[in-house]
Amino acid sequence: MSHSMKHPEKYKPSVHFVKKAVFPSLSQYQSMHRESLRSPDKFWGRIGKGELAWFTQPKKTLDWKSPFAKWFVGGKLNVSFNCIDRHLEGGKRHKAAILFEGEPGDVRVLTYQQLHDEVCRFANALKGEGVKKGDRVMIYLPMVPEAAIAMLACARIGAVHSVVFGGFSSESLKDRIQDCGAKLVITADGGYRRGQVGGLKQNVDAAVAVCPGVRRVIVLKRTGHLEKLNPIDRWWHELVAHQPSTCPPEKMDSEDPLFILYTSGSTGKPKGILHTTAGYLLGAHLTTKWVFDLKETDLFWCTADVGWVTGHSYTVYGALSNGTTTLMYEGVPNQPEPDRFWQIIEKHRVNIFYTAPTAIRSFIRWGDHWVKKHDLSSLRLLGSVGEPINPEAWRWYHQVIGGGRCPIVDTWWQTETGSHLITTLPGVHATKPGSAGLPFFGVDMAVVDDQGKEVKAGVQGKLVVRKPWPSMLRTIHGDSERYAKTYWSDVPNCYFTGDGAKKDADGYFWISGRIDDVLNVSGHRLGTAEVESALVTHPAVAEAAVVGRPDDLKGQAVVAFVTLKAGHKSGSELVAALRERVSKEIGPIAKPDQIRFAEALPKTRSGKIMRRLLKEVAAGGAVKGDVTTLEDLNVIASLQASSGEES
């Protein structure tokens, strides 16, 4: 059992939030949550009607034929209308919708009226290029306002967008274009990252050369580094120059597809996660409103790129459907210095900051002095997303960034779930460092054994959802059989998340990470997240990643890759101290067999540790597979050159 499970200290809800939060009392929350599980049709029918703008009201809340769901059957609405038009009618015409800062320091503000006009012009341009309702459009852009404009323009005319993160290779782009059947690609002449101009257009050129279905490429001029277009290309600014600033929103069925977003699959072939219109929008809208306790004057900053689902749900759709101001930043957190994020928060007076644990651990490693240079008093709420957060990182985030006054919502969810499924609500729930919290409304979450039987509190098991929820994926694009097999076959009548977890006596969930990342050491099951959490409690450790390697005696041996805080050095004494720390926190069985010190860990450009690569390094083999999403390719060479100490 991890340190965090043995000593789950509680942080009580802030008095400030109790007075001002959406839910004035815990009892009101509990009453609503009970209703959402006992009478989901009634609950979601009422909430859906009240929170979204409909052209035609739904006739039925849920049609469930396991494992396929249809929500708000018969309803007609438009996501773009919900994110823009209804705010114009509600008096937010001149409120900032998007506040953008580029890595070079350029700043742009788009009001809701200006965003409406830009979206309509681009929607008309897409229509002019022959894009119709149901057509697929690929978006491959840097983190600039036009990425959101392109998404909303597609939603406005009923085209299905598929956003590809700008760090993906031409091969990855080609695979996604071919799988979804995109007829048009939207890209840019480049983007700014780490002070350099990153190329996008050459990757698009290589991909569309083998994708004859692509009839047009629209190119945004971001950097000015492209001199010549291909015959298939058109400049964004030229296409929209003479387009009208009005475009009637398409009346979409609740179950019409909104987007396809690709996530990696165990077979190597990416899975095209298909989300539809009403249920997805309601999930993104409601969780943004309630989990982040949105206020009219908030500036909301979700640091995720729109190439990931977090950027979809919380930078674009959830934020804009609530009429809030969303901040978009193009670059990395340490350009030109490691205080860029804190500089942005101070400069723009950000109120809500939502980022990933891997980023938080990097901030720790860089040092508190970068934070202390800036006034972060505008912050009132912090969020964590992407993977389990170590309790030590949680405490640092709470004290150093939040000044001890900001609640932290540690949200658990997936590309497939569309929106948060586990979280705490500010002003309602006490928080426990390292715990994801409690299930959101309508989410019937459980921890079960291999037979599907719910396990006792404190026992490790599989994390499942036992009932459908509105923002759930509907299928894998073009492969409903794979959808059923991947998500609904492991545990009878349940959606299996792929994660392991424990639930404590208070009902809080503690995520141990992917089941694939659970190690079997001499018959004992160990969550890698538990071992990592124990390692980072040592004052010298900034970050740790734990993987298994084949072992003839134990089945699997525990290998830990560790990065140190500034001013600390590796050595046999530190290795012994770290092993002892893990033994004390978890037990002797969890002691790492090898500890390898590294300058940095291999991370994707979205900040996730690529444990697959660490497994290959730990096993002594060559690094294989696609590494194009790596932030820094030099990390692999340094890892392979690093030596470790065996027990």
> Would you list the DSSP string of 328-360?
EE-S-TTSSSTTHHHHHHHHHT-SEEEE-HHHH
The helix (run of H) or strand (run of E) holding residue 434 is none
pLDDT for residue 407: 94
- Out of 122-136, 149-163, 613-627, least confident range: 613-627
C-alpha 266/C-alpha 270 separation (Å) is 8
- Rounded distance, CA 276 to CA 232, Å? 30
Is the torsion defined by CA of 371, 377, 379, 383 positive or negative? Answer: positive
pLDDT digits (tens, 9 = 90+) for 479-501: 999 999 999 999 989 999 999 99
pLDDT digits (tens, 9 = 90+) for 76-132: 999 999 999 999 988 899 999 999 999 999 999 999 999 999 999 999 999 999 999
d(CA 485, CA 158): 29
**pLDDT for position 531:** 86
Alpha helices in 52-188 (DSSP H): 79-80, 86-89, 112-128, 145-157, 170-180
The mean pLDDT value for 353-364 works out to: 91
Instruction: Say if residue 270's pLDDT is above 60.
Output: yes
pLDDT, tens only, 297-333: 999 999 999 999 999 999 999 999 999 999 999 999 9
Decide if 401 contacts 382 (C-beta within 8 A).
yes
- Using DSSP's 3-state secondary structure scheme, residue 399 falls into helix
What is the Cα–Cα distance from 628 to 396, expressed in whole angstroms?
32
End-to-end CA distance of the chain: give it in Å, rounded: 22
Q: Does residue 311 sit in helix, strand or coil?
A: helix
- Calpha distance 477→181 (Å, rounded): 11
The span from the CA of 342 to the CA of 359, in Å, is: 13
Provide the token pair at 83. Answer: 């994110």
Task: Tell me the residue ranges of DSSP E strands in 452-611.
Answer: 461-465, 475-476, 495-503, 509-514, 518-521, 524-527, 541-551, 555-564, 594-597
Provide the mean pLDDT of the chain. Answer: 91
pLDDT score for 218:
98
With cut-offs at 50, 70 and 90, classify the pLDDT of residue 347.
very high
Collapsing DSSP to helix, strand or coil, 548 comes out as strand
Token pair, residue 496, equals 């299996």
Fill in the amino acid letter for 32.
Answer: M
- Checking if the pLDDT of 1 tops 80, the result is no
b/e burial code for range 607-637 (CB count within 10 A of at least 16 → b)? bbbbbbbbbbbbeeeebeeebebbbeeebbe
pLDDT in tens, 375-415: 999 999 999 998 788 889 999 999 999 999 999 999 999 99
pLDDT of residue 2: 38
Residue 372 CA from chain centroid, whole number? 28
Report yes or no: 95 and 295 within 8 Å, Cβ to Cβ.
Answer: no
Higher model confidence: residue 515 or residue 606? 515
H helix intervals, 135-268: 145-157, 170-180, 201-208, 236-240
User: What does the pLDDT read at residue 90?
Assistant: 83
pLDDT class of 18 with cuts at 50, 70, 90 = low
Mean pLDDT of 170-185: 93
d(CA 501, CA 403) in angstroms, rounded, equals: 30
Phi, psi of 579 (to 5 degrees): -65, -45
Q: Does residue 529 carry a pLDDT above 50?
A: yes
How many beta carbons lie within 10 A of that of residue 224, not counting itself?
9
Confidence band (pLDDT; 50, 70, 90) for 519? Answer: confident
How many CA atoms are closer than 13 Å to the CA of 469, on its beta-carbon side?
A: 31
pLDDT the model gives residue 231: 96
**Which pLDDT belongs to residue 17?**
67
Yes or no: say if 248 and 216 are a contact pair by the CB < 8 Å rule.
Answer: no
- pLDDT recorded at residue 4: 42
Please name the fold of domain 522-646. GMP Synthetase; Chain A, domain 3 (3.30.300)
Residue 627: its pLDDT value, please? 67
pTM, full prediction: 0.85
Q: What is the model's pLDDT at position 445? A: 97
pLDDT score for 266: 46
The answer, yes or no, to whether residue 43 has pLDDT greater than 50, is yes
**What per-residue confidence (pLDDT) applies to 3?**
38
Radius of gyration of the chain (CA): 24
CB under 8 Å to 126, separation ≥6 — which residues?
137, 153, 154, 157, 159, 184
Rounded to 5°, angle at Cα 66 from 517 and 483: 45
Peptide bond into 248 cis (omega under 30): no
Region of residue 62 (left: phi > 0; alpha: psi -120 to 50; beta: else):
beta
Residue 539 has pLDDT above 90, yes or no: yes
Start-end of H helices in 438-595: 480-488, 528-535, 572-585
Which tokens sit at 49? Answer: 């009607």
